[in-house]
Every structure is written in structure tokens, then in C-alpha cells.
Amino acid sequence: MNQPVKKDITYQQAVYNIVRQIPRGTVASYGQVARIAGGGISARMVGYALAALPPGTNVPWQRVINSQGKISLPGFGRVMQEKLLREEGIVFGPDGRIDFDEFGWVGSGSG
């Protein structure tokens, strides 16, 4: 009797599943998402996965920022990400940083 083959999820799907868990009004770093995902996924790979999202996605990509608490995207992407985060109640400091102590997500495996 044949059993269905269970296909492994892609690293992008693993990243998206984690990012979907980040609650509104909180942020995580690319590295934090990578650590939770495991399996050799790097912070850069998290960035690539998020950059590949189609328009209108349900993955809250805006909640992932760099380890210094800043938005890494240039130009319009930066403006859009900041707008979306402010709409969620996230406050930026005068230096453009988000305080992880106040707004950081403490997710599974994030320490």
C-alpha cells in the first residue's frame, strides 16, 4: 500500500511561518528569525525570502528589522515599512531605531 510522500517545506516557507507568528506591535531581527528557523538559514536568507514575497501577502514582513533596530530597506521600501510599523504603534527613536527591549518579540527559540 502506497503512503503519500511528505514533502519538506522550503526555507522560504519556514521563514514565512515564523514571521506570521510575530504579533502586531512587535518586531524581530533577521538573525532572530534565522535562529528560530535553524537548519543553516542565515539572516541574509531571511531577507531574501522576505524580498521574494508577492504583493498583497499575508506575511507581516514589516515586522522584521536589522539587529541594530533599524529598517534596512532603501527608498520607498523604507518609507512603507516605517509607515506600517508606526500604524502598529511602534515608536522610532530620534536615531531611527526601534527599542528591542520595548518592542522586541520574544518568540520561540529567540532567547
Q: pLDDT tens across 3-45, in order?
A: 443 456 799 999 999 999 999 999 999 999 999 999 899 999 9
Beta-carbon contacts of 99 under 8 Å, excluding residues fewer than 6 positions away, are 69, 91, 93
- Say what the alpha-carbon torsion angle 75, 45, 34, 27 is, to the nearest 10 degrees: 10
What does pTM read for this prediction? 0.88
Average pLDDT over the chain, rounded to an integer = 91
Q: How far apart are CA 69 and CA 74, in angstroms?
A: 15
Q: Quick one: cell of 57?
A: 501577502
Which residues on adjacent β-strands are paired with residue 27?
Answer: 104
Domains and CATH numbers, the chain: 11-102 (1.10.10.10)
Which DSSP state fits 51? Answer: H
Instruction: Specify the amino acid at residue 29.
Output: S
pLDDT interval class at 60 (50, 70, 90): very high
